[in-house]
């Protein structure tokens, strides 16, 4: 376990220095990666509390390398219903790990952890007076949520700290969700179909490696959150009052990586001429891999969607999906590092990029065409406020409300009217915009 703890501490140290957990896990030895990810997720979900307690026990912060392991151990000792390890195991292995990490600090770590165990109840209660520790989110994040969602902010934060379900999208051309449930049962896996809005969605009772999913390698199923599965049908389905799309529509997926929504568009419209764009060439490679697994074809270009002169051939699009760069504040339960990586000033900067993308892509849309604007954010600045401002700037744009699809979708257990039912969706925002002929 000591090797694992040092890997976790490296990950926590990297996140606190501003590095993405995904990038850090990629450097982890393959045999330790699953365990490192699981424990890192736990630590990051309790990091606010661990930091507050460490300040009580050791007001002068130790060196970053030492602090990361100390915080990891404190988070693993945090009182939870089902701890990953017994208390004595965490202390013993953390001290052993520290001897290899920074030998002179092993005694210090041992003393702090043992004091925490002796006074745990009182220390946790004292730390909980700090909202950032009580909710395990930065103070600025709490204030923004309180302003945006005064009735739901605590429930959103609680949802962020729970483990997410594993959701699948059954290939629309290769069977129904009900058919795939039978294949799962034969493989010893259980789940449930969601419908009616997310008709191809299946939520597993327990997460499973993709190697255990029947037909995954052949493209029969993909891993995709239920909320993300709403993008393609929202863009492509016939809607009252909207001109129908051509039989072979010209589509743009403007920020396509990693390709889940790209492949879903092609599942629902196999004859489409689709351009998948992304500013990050490395991430665009993941789109290529996803399409290859599903035996799909699209044109891929690494380019900034705002710089249309560099990539657009002048032919307008029938429909555009803009899944814009955002804070990822709606998918914190899947990416618990996000809350610690973001800064308060990031939201205005991201909103400016979103606005620039909308303005740049709108002229590329045919009259009568449609654009779906999406973000995996619960912040209004990246959702409804963004769309309201866009409509003010573009008199030829009209928002088309679609019940259960458009607006802010919140990851709340009591939102049974949302697609997928209780606790099955991440936080998302969708708007369907049409260009007046």
Residue 432, helix vs strand vs coil: strand
Choosing from 28, 255, 326, 376, the catalytic residue is 376
Nearest to 65, CA basis, from 28, 24, 12:
12
- pLDDT tier, 1 (very low <50, low <70, confident <90, very high otherwise): confident
Segment among 83-97, 219-233, 402-416 with least mean pLDDT = 402-416
Which residues are CB-contacts of 268 (< 8 A; sequence separation ≥ 6)?
Answer: 172, 232, 233, 236
Q: What is the mean pLDDT of residues 181-209?
A: 92
What local confidence, expressed as pLDDT, does residue 416 receive? Answer: 46
In the predicted structure, residue 33 carries a pLDDT above the cut 90: yes
The residue that leads in pLDDT, 114 or 1, is 114
What local confidence, expressed as pLDDT, does residue 82 receive? Answer: 86
The residue that leads in pLDDT, 44 or 1, is 44
The residue that leads in pLDDT, 162 or 326, is 326
Residue 172, burial from CB neighbour count under 10 angstroms (0-12, 13-18, 19+): middle
What local confidence, expressed as pLDDT, does residue 422 receive? Answer: 45
Residue 120, helix vs strand vs coil: helix
In the predicted structure, residue 415 carries a pLDDT above the cut 80: no
For residues 261 and 234, the answer to whether their CB atoms sit within 8 Å is no
In the predicted structure, residue 421 carries a pLDDT above the cut 60: no
- pLDDT tier, 423 (very low <50, low <70, confident <90, very high otherwise): low
Q: What is the mean pLDDT of residues 417-431?
A: 72
Distance of CA 222 to the CA centre of its chain: 16
Give the domain ranges of the chain. 2-135, 167-223, 227-435
Which residues are CB-contacts of 371 (< 8 A; sequence separation ≥ 6)?
Answer: 319, 320, 321, 322, 361, 362, 365, 432, 433, 434, 435
Fold of 2-135: N-utilizing Substance Protein B Homolog; Chain A (1.10.940)
Segment among 97-101, 236-240, 398-402 with least mean pLDDT = 236-240
In CATH, what class is 167-223? alpha beta
Reported residue count of the chain is 437
As a CATH number, domain 227-435 is 3.40.50.150
**Distance in angstroms (rounded) separating the CA atoms of residues 231 and 278:** 17
pLDDT digits (tens, 9 = 90+) for 112-144: 999 999 999 999 999 999 999 999 999 999 999
Q: What is the mean pLDDT of residues 29-58?
A: 95
What whole-number percentage of the chain has pLDDT above 70? 97
What local confidence, expressed as pLDDT, does residue 424 receive? Answer: 82
**Cβ atoms < 10 Å from Cβ of 383:** 27
Residue 376 a catalytic site member: yes
> What does the mean pLDDT of the chain come to?
93
DSSP 282: H
**Distance in angstroms (rounded) separating the CA atoms of residues 45 and 159:** 11
What local confidence, expressed as pLDDT, does residue 413 receive? Answer: 66
The residue that leads in pLDDT, 413 or 198, is 198
What whole-number percentage of the chain has pLDDT above 90? 90
Q: What is the mean pLDDT of residues 379-388?
A: 98
Residue 223, helix vs strand vs coil: strand
pLDDT digits (tens, 9 = 90+) for 327-372: 999 999 999 999 999 999 999 999 999 999 999 999 999 999 999 9
- pLDDT tier, 230 (very low <50, low <70, confident <90, very high otherwise): very high
What local confidence, expressed as pLDDT, does residue 417 receive? Answer: 44
In the predicted structure, residue 36 carries a pLDDT above the cut 70: yes
Residue 155, burial from CB neighbour count under 10 angstroms (0-12, 13-18, 19+): middle
DSSP letter for each residue of 247-278: SS-EEEETT-TT-HHHHHHHHH-TT-EEEEEE
pLDDT digits (tens, 9 = 90+) for 163-186: 889 999 999 999 999 999 999 999
């Amino acid at each position: 376990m000591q090797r694992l703890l040092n890997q976790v501490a490296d990950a926590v140290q990297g996140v606190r220095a501003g590095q993405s957990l995904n990038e850090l896990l990629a450097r982890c030895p393959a045999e330790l990666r699953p365990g490192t990810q699981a424990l890192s997720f736990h630590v990051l979900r309790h990091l606010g509390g661990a930091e507050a307690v460490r300040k009580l026990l050791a007001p002068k912060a130790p060196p970053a390398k030492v602090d990361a392991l100390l915080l990891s151990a404190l988070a693993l000792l945090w009182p939870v219903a089902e701890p990953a390890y017994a208390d004595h195991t965490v202390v013993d292995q953390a001290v052993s790990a520290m001897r290899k990490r920074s030998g002179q600090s092993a005694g210090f770590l041992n003393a702090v952890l043992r004091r925490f165990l002796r006074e745990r109840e009182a220390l946790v209660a004292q730390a909980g007076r700090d909202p950032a520790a009580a909710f395990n989110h930065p103070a600025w994040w709490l204030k923004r949520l309180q302003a945006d969602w005064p009735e739901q902010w605590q429930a959103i934060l609680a949802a962020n700290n729970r483990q997410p379900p594993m959701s699948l999208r059954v290939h629309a051309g290769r069977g129904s969700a009900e058919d795939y449930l039978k294949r799962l049962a034969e493989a010893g896996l259980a789940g449930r179909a969601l419908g009616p809005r997310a008709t191809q969605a299946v939520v597993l009772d327990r997460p499973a490696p993709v190697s255990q999913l029947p037909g995954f390698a052949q493209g029969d199923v993909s891993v995709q959150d239920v909320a993300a599965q709403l993008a393609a049908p929202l863009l492509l389905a016939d809607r009252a009052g909207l001109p129908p799309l051509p039989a072979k529509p010209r589509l743009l997926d403007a920020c396509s990586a990693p390709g889940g929504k790209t492949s879903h568009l092609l599942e629902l419209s196999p004859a489409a001429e689709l351009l998948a764009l992304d500013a990050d060439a490395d991430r665009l490679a993941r789109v290529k891999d996803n399409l290859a697994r599903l035996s799909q074809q699209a044109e891929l270009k690494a380019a900034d969607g705002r710089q249309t002169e560099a990539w657009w051939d002048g032919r307008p699009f029938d429909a555009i999906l803009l899944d814009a760069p955002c804070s990822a504040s709606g998918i914190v339960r899947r990416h618990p590092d996000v809350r610690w990586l973001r800064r308060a000033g990031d939201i205005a900067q991201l909103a400016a990029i979103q606005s620039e993308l909308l303005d740049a892509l709108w002229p590329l849309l045919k009259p009568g065409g449609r654009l779906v604007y999406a973000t995996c954010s619960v912040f209004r600045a990246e959702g409804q406020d963004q769309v309201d401002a866009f409509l003010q700037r573009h008199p030829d744009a009209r928002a088309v409300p679609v019940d259960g699809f458009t607006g802010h979708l919140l990851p709340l257990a009591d939102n049974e009217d949302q697609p997928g039912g209780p606790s099955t969706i991440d936080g998302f925002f969708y708007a369907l915009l049409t260009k007046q002929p």
